[in-house]
Amino acid sequence: MTVKIGLLGFGTVASGVPYLLQENQKKIFDLAEAEIAIGKVLVKSSEEAQHLVAQGHDYDFVTDVEAILSDESIAIVVELMGRIEPAKTYIAKALQAGKHVVSANKDLIALHGTELLALASENQVSFAYEAAVAGGIPILRTLSQSLISDKITRVLGVLNGTSNYMLTKMVESGWTYQEALESAQALGYAESDPTNDVEGIDAAYKVAILSRFAFGMAIDFEAIHHQGIDVITANDVATAKEMGYVIKLVGDLQETASGLWAEVAPTLIPTNHPLATVNDVMNAVYVESIGIGQSMYYGPGAGQKPTATSVVADIMQISRDIVQDKVGQPFNRFDQPSRLADLEHVSHRYYLSVQARDTTGQLSHLAQLFEKHAISFDQVLQEKASQEDAFITVITHEITRQQLQEVTKDIEASVDFELGNVFKVLGD
């Protein structure tokens, strides 16, 4: 039996799909229980099609998506275009046409996944998107299948390769944020407009998807607190290192008494924690659960072959379901009502950087502001900022998010202090 696929787009990841289908042909045929063949490929223009043919790509290139949607021989539509539109429209039409869909589009799935999954269910077709989170790491199926018997309590992730590359250079080489950004752009890791990567938006999309698989909750993207790495200073990096930490941009999903807390933010990680060793463009997802305890899943978060590997795995699963007449199986069966955490139930340790006049009694004065809110210090470091000013850096013991809001408000209102960065601190 042959299962034909229609590729929407033929960029970096999409061009990796035929490579895997050819290089791993026998194993794919044996496990998919069918030959997987590329039926048609959607490209933007006839000029692009001619250019690809000249490069040696011998496929049926089309410029109208209807040529794929109306082709009854094509069973699976593989969307690798990126962005929201026209991808959303094309996927919706494919599902309505009774075609299964595979996608790597994290933005689209995070923002419109609920709608598209409902459409897939309504039309009794499959919609899979393993490659949407952490590229080559099979984390979604791990959560929904391998860990199906376990109760997950927290998921932490280094989920954006661009920001992680930049932070690695800032920590290990002492580069400034701007130097690290320029290098990331020169190497092709960062776009000319790096907003989604450096402001935590890309990682927040992935956290939204992970919430469905780890906790069965569809969390709106707007409910995910996100802060980027563009606020991190050289002083933050150096001080964190002196106190025994490295700074990473971390996605965090945590179960609390009142509901789920979802966040992406720069986080101080102890140097002996597994996530501290995830460097350059690599990704990792660290899972805490009552059964296994702690486990980490590490690998490339992007790239042609790693991402295409996850895409082809989805295609193979759907192909096998077609052969076995089991189509329409949900990608993730875990579903429960979404509940967001109350701030008084969200507790962490925090790093606060405060600039003050370098005079006697300032540390004592600052300590009084913390004591007012029943906050105690785990570590304190005082250093010269200039001839007249000093940096006071504190790491608190565990406090609630509500306490943090109250004490930062008091510090900002004080004429004696200037509040710098506030970052979460991960426990040992």
Boundary residue ending a domain (290, 323, 356): 323
Q: Which domain holds residue 372?
A: 344-425
| pLDDT of amino acid 389 | 84
Question: What are the two backbone dihedrals, phi and then psi, of residue 251, each rounded to the nearest 5 degrees?
Answer: -85, 140
Measured CA to CA in angstroms, residue 392 lies from 358, 380, 383 at distances of 10, 7, 7
Tell me which residue has tokens 């408000």.
409
The mean pLDDT of 181-204, rounded to a whole number, is 94
Q: Domain for residue 276, yes or no?
A: yes
Contact 105, 312 (CB under 8 A): no
Q: Which of 246, 265, 300 is the last residue of a domain?
A: 300
Which residue in the block uniquely carries the two structure tokens 């990331």? 184
Claim to verify: residue 296 and residue 307 sit in the same structural domain: no
Q: What would the 3-class secondary structure string for 329-340 be? A: CCCCCCCCCCCE
The predicted structure's pLDDT at residue 133: 97
What CATH number does the domain containing 179 carry? Answer: 3.30.360.10
Domain match, 72 and 179 both: no
- pLDDT confidence tier of residue 358, bands split at 50, 70 and 90: confident
Average pLDDT (87-104) is: 98
Residue 179 token pair: 């130097």
- Enumerate the β-bridge partners of residue 289: 152
The reply to whether 69 and 143 lie within a common domain is no
Dihedral over alpha carbons 399, 402, 407, 410 (to 10 degrees): 180
Q: Which residues of 242-267 are buried (b: 16+ CB within 10 A; e: fewer)?
A: ebebbbbbbbbbbbbeebbbbbbbbb
In a domain, 329, yes or no: no
* Residue 103 host element (H or E): strand 100-103
pLDDT of residue 410: 96
> How many whole angstroms separate alpha carbon 298 and alpha carbon 27?
24
pLDDT of residue 361: 82
For residue 303, give the nearest of 383, 188, 416 by alpha carbon.
Answer: 188
Amino acid identity, position 103: S
Query: Are residues 127 and 99 both part of a single domain?
Result: yes
Please indicate, yes or no, whether residues 122 and 152 belong to a single structural domain of this protein. Answer: no
Q: For residues 34 and 91, state if they share a domain.
A: yes
- The confidence score (pLDDT) of residue 19 equals 94
Contact 105, 79 (CB under 8 A): yes
On whether residue 110 sits in a domain, the answer given is yes
In a domain, 338, yes or no: no
Distance, CA of 88 to CA of 113 (rounded, Å): 10
- Would you say how long the chain is, in residues? 428
Say if residue 251 is in the same domain as residue 290.
Answer: yes
385: domain CATH number is 3.30.70.260
Q: How many CA atoms lie within 13 A of 199 on its CB side?
A: 7
Q: Using 50, 70 and 90 to split pLDDT, how confident is the model at 201?
A: very high
Which of the residues are catalytic?
206
* Residue range 226-269, pLDDT digits in tens: 999 999 999 999 999 999 999 999 999 999 999 999 999 999 99
CATH of the domain at 16: 3.40.50.720
The predicted structure's pLDDT at residue 164? 97
Query: Do 281 and 308 lie in a common domain?
Result: no
Provide mean pLDDT across the span 126-132.
97
Band (87; pLDDT cuts 50, 70, 90): very high
Looking at the structure of the chain, the number of domains it has is 3
Closest CA to 235 of 389, 398, 365: 389
Please check whether residues 212 and 361 belong to one and the same domain. no
Reported pTM: 0.94
Q: Residue 196 phi/psi, 5° resolution?
A: -60, -35
How many angstroms separate the CA atoms of 219 and 201, rounded?
A: 14
Q: What is the rounded average pLDDT of the residues 294-317?
A: 95
Asked if the structure places residue 375 within a domain, the reply is yes
Give yes or no: residues 130 and 169 share one domain.
no
Beta bridge partners of 261: 254
In this structure, are 175 and 114 located in the same domain? no
Boundary residue ending a domain (248, 267, 300): 300
Domain for residue 194, yes or no?
Answer: yes
Report d(CA 145, CA 116) in Å as an integer: 21
User: Is pLDDT larger for residue 387 or for residue 316?
Assistant: 316
Please answer whether residues 200 and 227 qualify as being in contact, where contact means their C-beta atoms are separated by less than 8 angstroms: yes
What percent of the chain is predicted at pLDDT more than 90? Answer: 91
Q: Is residue 188 part of a domain?
A: yes
Q: Where does the pLDDT of residue 210 fall: very low under 50, low under 70, confident under 90, or very high at 90 and above?
A: very high
Determine, yes or no, domain membership for 144.
Answer: yes
**Per-residue pLDDT, 360:** 75
User: Same structural domain for residues 311 and 266?
Assistant: no
